[in-house]
Amino acid sequence: MDKIICVGKNYAEHVKELGDITVDKPVIFLKPPSVLRQAKQGETLTVSMPTHQGSVHHECEIVFQLKAGGFQMTETEAERCIGAVSVGLDMTLRDKQAILKKTGAPWTIAKVFQDSAIVGPWVSLEEFPQFSNAVFSLKVNGELRQEGRATEMTFSPPKCIAYISEHFPLCAGDIIFTGTPKGVNSILPSDTGNLNFGPIQFSVQWYELKS
């Protein structure tokens, strides 16, 4: 894997809940591979959270792994590059992000920290061809927090990938987080999250990362 690319503001209801303005192009940011944690099927993954940096929010998302790369691709070419799908969490330091938004600064330090990119097991599109209509969800301590479908995205996965490739080359193995639906909220140390998406299921147990 060369990089993790994330798409923001890709579900209209999430844009509304944060009081953001709608966009006519995908919002793109990156995370380094060093912050990635991957769970096996049915596993409970223990991950850290830096509560000393303010409110930590979960953002449940459909995640893709590319089987081929490309540069300046069409949407058709981009779709052919998708090799596998999963569900994951784009963890966010919400207080810090709010400050960065006000100053017009990049979101990097609000999005990049230890264990801030979490993904489940990969399932090939051949094994999960109906993923677009399947519901993905996150429960925290048994309470439903988020759910959505790929069909609810403002920008489809091929459109997102093609747009990203307009700006820089993509590589086989790259991971793409595609945005989160409404329902983002804070988590606390000792909280447990359960993620489901078709045949994919895993859990996350958070603990406090001391400053």
pLDDT digits (tens, 9 = 90+) for 153-177: 999 999 999 999 999 999 999 999 9
> Domains, the chain, ranges and CATH?
4-208 (3.90.850.10)
- Residue 17 in this model has a pLDDT that exceeds 80: no
For the chain, the average pLDDT equals 95
Contact indicator for 192, 112 with CB cutoff of 8 Å: no
pLDDT one-digit tens code per residue, 109-124: 999 999 999 999 999 9
What integer pLDDT is reported at residue 149 of this predicted model?
A: 97
**Rg value, the chain, Cα:** 16
Amino acid at 44: T
pTM of the entire structure? 0.95
Report the pLDDT value the prediction gives residue 195, as an integer from 0 to 100.
99
- Whether 7 and 78 have beta carbons less than 8 Å apart is answered as no
CA distance 100 to 23: 18
Q: Dihedral sign, CA of 106, 109, 110, 113?
A: positive
The Cα 157–Cα 82 span in angstroms is 9
